[in-house]
Structure 1
Amino acid sequence: MKTIDCRNMACPQPVVMVKRALEENPGEPLNVLLDDGAPRENVGRFAANRGLEVEETVVGGAFSLVISGTQQQAKEGVVSIGGKTVMLVAADRLGDGPEELGRLLMKNFIITLLDVTDVPDLMLFVNTGVLLTTEGSEVIEALEKLGNRGVEIFSCGVCLDFFHRKDKLAAGTVTNMFTIAESMLQARSVIRV
């Protein structure tokens, strides 16, 4: 069994290294050493989304994930070409005008999504957009309702860390740049707001 050491690596490098190792040795188990937190969560989710089994143990203060099985099409967060509509929310405000107006417009936009027929399949929140998915945001209830309608809500883990808001995430789940890039590249359409 091959072992790769992904400790002390920033997002999305652990996921990228795991992806490459799995492609180089398809069907063979892979042992991955990771730090706790986002790297462990991201690699575990990446493997699980591909139908792989993940066995986790603690080894000397680090986490060891043994990934095994045969890869399948991703179950969530990664879409097939021609599939989903992805909305990229890259700021906590809409437009280039006054900050207060931009925040009001973004709030109204997200709340209005509850009343439209065609909602996005996936909403990716990056940069200051992640502030909309964390405690204190005025759109948490609307995002939760969108989630109940089947909209997947993902927030960039690096962005949440940057703003010290990862422990305050209130809507959706944490994701990584690999999943964000792959989802956008494989989407039917990407709408940036």
Structure 2
Amino acid sequence: MSTSIRVLVIDDHGIVRAGICAALERREDFTIFQAASKSEAFAQMAKVNPDVIVVDINLPDGSGLEIVSWARSISQTIAIIVLTLNEHDDFLIAAMKAGASSYLNKSAPLLEILAAIDHSLVAPLTFSSRETVKTVERKRDRFDLSQRELQILTQLHKAAPVAELASSLFITEATLKTHLSNIYRKLNVHSRLQAIEKARVSGLT
């Protein structure tokens, strides 16, 4: 008999929280818990010892990043998904430093959220490694690349089809194509091969 994966959803907006919980409950291997504030989250974490935390940054009694930092300090295996409307690089880096496993927009499709959870359960520390943080901070401004664009650029050398690359990054093909178009423009190149070479020569990858 398989062990249930305990997922704690933390968001102060009841409708949003209920929607996320309802979507995640479709997974038979998930047991869902919820909290509407930082204090409720700490109480629930002590009570249920979740395997996964899905948390918003903005909470009524503090920052969700405080929860991320505390959760990571007591567990190196917990999967921590930051789900927010704010995709600014500063928030993303703060989440990475705090110990988040993944950072997604609340508008992300359910399949992307589920894929991020599954990936984070296998490799909860991959996204938040110190090396990754330093790389983002050092390179993101070189060509005015966003963190996501830099992440995509580092994956282009794999020569994977667009569909496969999009799936591995938990984004849609349309979103990936938009990112690629922006990357080519910022690097002043016109193809994937040119982008790979420009990134190599410039020390971006």
Please classify the TM superposition score into its range, dividing by the shorter chain length.
0.3 to 0.5
After TM superposition, the score normalised by the length of structure 2 is 0.31
Q: Work out which structure has the larger RCO, using CA pairs closer than 8 Å and 6 or more positions apart in sequence.
A: 1
Q: Which has the higher strand share?
A: 1
Q: Which has the higher helix share?
A: 2
